[in-house]
Every structure is written in structure tokens, then in C-alpha cells.
Amino acid sequence: MITVLLVDDHPVVRDGLRGMLQAEPDLTIVGEAGSGDEAVVAARAHRPDVVLMDLRMPGLDGAGATGRILAGQPSTKVVVLTTYDTDADILRAVEAGACGYLLKDATRAELTAAIRAAARGETVLAPSVAGRLVEQVRNPAPAAKVLSAREVEVLSLVARGHTNAEIGSALHISEATVKTHLLRAFNKLGVADRTAAVTTAMSLGLLP
């Protein structure tokens, strides 16, 4: 029997996943979580074989939760299930230790097969995701072309915990200009928030 923990901040998504998986005789849902922090606690309590992990959630995101879970339970397998397939999202999930990355348009057969494969210790990637990873390995983006010098300065200050107003004061630019630099950095890195931008930039070696 393969035990599964469902992690998604949308209850309707968890309900749908539970309905799909409960019909499988060899899969058992042992718990659910609506955030990354809840996922870490639930994984510690239930010690599931496989965690189906949403990527973008308020607070601790899926990549962060994956890293914390695997730090304490290296035998647990984490399969990311998300609507996002940007390069930065994929990279963060893989670097955190996820053994699978599926998109939410996966069929029931694809999802259940992925869970079973992950439980066996195999890597499972959606075709589009596998293609992106291969492309990244073949053609890594030069660091200098990813972020401008000013965007690196702004993100460095974000990493130190400064607010937009404090960053503007330190760099002698307006708060609106700080926001513009952040939005451009988000777009280049394929992320949606400050924490993800800093984490991704660090993983790419763009921040000290």
C-alpha cells in the first residue's frame, strides 16, 4: 500500500485529487495540508510514502516545504503538481529534492502512474517539463544576461529584509522605481513574489 499526503491551498483541488485517488486499491490518502507549513507538520505526523505538492502557496511555498520535509524524511518522495511550468519554478522544485514534476492537466492515469513510479524511487516529469530541463542543461543562460546590475542591487537588499521604501532610500531612487525593478526581475526569473525571486536568484548564482 502506498500512502499519500495531499498538499494544495485550494480545498476544491484536494477534494478532486482525493476523489481520483481513493478509487485506486493500492493508494491510501493519509493526510492533507493547505500550506507549506502545514505540509511539513503533516509529513512528520503521517510519514507518507509520497507527497503530492502544490508549488505556489501563501507563506512557505512548495519548494521550501519540499526541502524541509526531505531534510527530516529523506525516504519520502515528493511529486510537485502545479499549473506552472516556468524554468525557475522547475529548477527550484528539482533543487529542493522533488523527484517528480507534473502539471495539473495530467490525467488520472498519468497521476496514479506517477505516484507509483515515485514510490519505486523513479523520477517522473511531464514531457514539457523534461524538455525545459534538457534545454536548460544544453543552453544555460549566462548570469550577466539574466538580471541587470540595478535589479541585482534591489534583490540583494530584499534578501536582507529591507522594504521597498528602505531600498529606495538606500539606492536614492523612488519606491515606484524599486517596484519596477522588482517586477522586471520577477518576469526574468519566472516568479511571482519577492521570496521566490531571491531564492531563484541565489540558486542561479546571481546574488552573493
For the chain, give every domain's residue range.
Answer: 2-138, 143-203
CA of 63: how far to CAs of 9, 126, 185, 200, in Å? 14, 17, 19, 11
Checking if the pLDDT of 167 tops 70, the result is yes
> Which pLDDT score, from 0 to 100, does residue 144 have?
44
Closest CA to 108 of 10, 2, 27: 27
pLDDT tens sequence across 136-148: 666 655 544 578 8
Q: Which of these, 130, 119, 70, 114, lies nearest to 96 by C-alpha position?
A: 70
Instruction: Specify whether the CB–CB gap between 98 and 69 falls below 8 A.
Output: no
Query: Is the model's pLDDT at 54 over the cut of 50?
Result: yes
Superfamily of domain 2-138: Response regulator (3.40.50.2300)
Q: CB within 8 A of 50, min separation 6: which ones?
A: 2, 3, 4, 5, 76, 77, 78, 79, 115, 118, 119
Euclidean distance between CA atoms 20 and 7, whole angstroms = 15
What's this model's pTM, rounded to 2 decimal places?
Answer: 0.67
Q: Do 2-138 and 143-203 show the same overall fold?
A: no
- Position 22: which residue type? Q
Helices (H), the chain: 11-22, 36-46, 62-72, 87-96, 108-119, 127-138, 143-146, 149-159, 164-171, 175-189, 194-203
The pLDDT confidence band at residue 130, using thresholds 50, 70 and 90, is confident
In the CATH hierarchy, which top-level class contains the domain 143-203?
mainly alpha
Confidence of residue 129 (pLDDT cuts 50, 70, 90): confident
* Separation of alpha carbons 67 and 180, rounded Å: 31
The answer to whether the beta carbons of residues 101 and 79 sit under 8 Å apart is: yes
